[in-house]
Structure 1
């Protein structure tokens, strides 16, 4: 097992403090604020811990309220809003320093049959036909990418990414607001469906907001930008294995009022749509210094 995937499993292994009360910790890797995907994943773990085993998370809707402090634990308080015959609802509040930093509602459902349809997966190269992450890292290190980008890609991470198109990562020019990225957990994970959903929730915050910056020749690492996730919604459609390659196809239909909207669809290699994602984020240009 790689250090990266062990770090992810440790992140998602919350400590139970009391009935409906859990504590999560952040990896000490020098970040100035907690990664948003971490808070989403941990909040979903907390909600899942209060649901019966025959209920499975099918959607979540969260709001980022304050930046998280990676140097102190995060307390997750779960409110058992409703337990129905088919669905149950949980509300989770993440707290640090006595203040809420994130709030999320999650819905769980019993398995049942019904109508089936899905949008087909786009035709893109397979992950084996793309540059490996090691080769990609080497390319980034040799490029003119900002130091922040190089630092991000240099450390070992729990999720392996293979972008279909590398232009955005090695150049700074306006591009269409779309990208396709293959990704998978960077090592083995226990075969627990709920854990794989939490891992997918963690990964779903990666690269998504960046898509809204493509048309403007910027990235989330641009020093002249103030960038932060504002909200995050996710729907789980079908079973999947997070250790197998998944395609994250992303588009940004709109940016206005210093906010960018990005939409994502996640597919298995055989074209099965397993999840949909929506996120709006702050993409505010910083005032130029005179």
Structure 2
């Protein structure tokens, strides 16, 4: 698994081209479009390269065009504001002369103040759940070929769902999902790398939750799905190479779109990050 982690770190290590200009690549694994989490993570890295002494506390992005894995992605950073407490950056991810994704990221100096957070849901811990091999078996039986290829290659992210039912049935399920997730090997002791890695992970399974009430999943060939926008907030320190519970729920689906929220908890129950996303969930016409 170390090779997969090294590939992820290389993926997140953008090449500087010019002042405020960076280049990223995509893994050549046969996908027809770039994974959304990759573009989010790389955009955050590009913004991070232009900020000193502060960490990102929130990001908001829009997916505008599918990314092409065959060509590099150019990340152009605009330094919108450098204030006494907050810093703001705008990143445009560009391919073939057009923006495929745009990210607005905010940074803050470290401060103390009021403290409160949701409690972690009461679910089985990662050591009580089947290893990812069980999930891989289900994917092999039911998923499209490109998903199978992804799951059957060494990957930098390990996932352990608390419930496998949506992979096995078309039953309508409650719009909630609990998934333990982590990097498969140790990451460097750098807050920025862990934030970028979690941003990469955060696009995994999130949209899928909005399909549960309809008896579908993103692995179904009956559904066309794609992330439309993505927001993330970093609340407290964490390590992306230790187990984090990704608790998601979907308050609404309408207009061929699903809206989903997510919360990341450490094993001791600390809420460390939150997400929100709306995505396309369109019925395929045959």
TM over 0.5: yes
Q: Among residues 257, 260, 268, which one is paired with 1:262 in the alignment?
A: 260
Once the two structures are TM-superposed, the CA of residue 148 in structure 1 deviates from its matched residue by: 4.9
Q: d(CA) in 2 for partners of 1:188 and 1:213?
A: 33
Q: d(CA) in 2 for partners of 1:265 and 1:95?
A: 30
Once the two structures are TM-superposed, the CA of residue 51 in structure 1 deviates from its matched residue by: 0.2
Q: What residue in structure 2 maps to residue 60 of structure 1?
A: 59
Q: d(CA) in 2 for partners of 1:262 and 1:57?
A: 22
Q: What residue in structure 1 maps to residue 233 of structure 2?
A: 235
Structure 1: give runs of 5+ residues left out of the alignment: none
Once the two structures are TM-superposed, the CA of residue 247 in structure 1 deviates from its matched residue by: 0.2
1:108 corresponds to 2:107? yes
Once the two structures are TM-superposed, the CA of residue 156 in structure 1 deviates from its matched residue by: 2.0
> What is the alpha-carbon root mean square deviation over aligned residues?
1.2
TM-score with structure 1 setting the length: 0.96
Once the two structures are TM-superposed, the CA of residue 149 in structure 1 deviates from its matched residue by: 4.5
Once the two structures are TM-superposed, the CA of residue 280 in structure 1 deviates from its matched residue by: 0.1
Q: 1:130-145, aligned counterparts within 5 Å?
A: 130-141=129-140, 143-145=141-143
TM-score with structure 2 setting the length: 0.97
Question: Measured at CA, do residues 81 and 147 of structure 1 come closer, stay the same or move farther in structure 2, by a change above 3 Å?
Answer: same
Q: Could you say what secondary structure the match of 2:8 adopts?
A: helix
Q: Can you list the C-alpha shifts for 1:265-288, whole angstroms capped at 9, x where unaligned?
A: 00000000000000000001122x
1:93 corresponds to 2:111? no
Bigger mean CA offset, 197-206 vs 3-12: 3-12
Once the two structures are TM-superposed, the CA of residue 61 in structure 1 deviates from its matched residue by: 0.1
1:5 corresponds to 2:20? no
Q: What residue in structure 2 maps to residue 33 of structure 1?
A: 33
Q: What residue in structure 2 maps to residue 253 of structure 1?
A: 251
Q: d(CA) in 2 for partners of 1:146 and 1:57?
A: 36
Q: What residue in structure 2 maps to residue 166 of structure 1?
A: 164
Q: d(CA) in 2 for partners of 1:148 and 1:16?
A: 31
Once the two structures are TM-superposed, the CA of residue 144 in structure 1 deviates from its matched residue by: 4.5
Q: 1:116-265, aligned counterparts within 5 Å?
A: 116-141=115-140, 143-265=141-263
Q: Can you list the C-alpha shifts for 1:21-79, whole angstroms capped at 9, x where unaligned?
A: 00000000000000000000000000000001x21100000000000000000000000
Q: d(CA) in 2 for partners of 1:40 and 1:75?
A: 13
Question: Measured at CA, do residues 139 and 67 of structure 1 come closer, stay the same or move farther in structure 2, by a change above 3 Å?
Answer: closer
Q: Can you list the C-alpha shifts for 1:90-130, whole angstroms capped at 9, x where unaligned?
A: 00000000000000100000101000000000011010000
Once the two structures are TM-superposed, the CA of residue 216 in structure 1 deviates from its matched residue by: 0.9
What is the number of equivalent residue pairs in this alignment?
A: 286
Q: d(CA) in 2 for partners of 1:223 and 1:166?
A: 18
Q: Could you say what secondary structure the match of 1:16 adopts?
A: strand
1:24 corresponds to 2:38? no
1:277 corresponds to 2:270? no
Q: What residue in structure 2 maps to residue 69 of structure 1?
A: 68
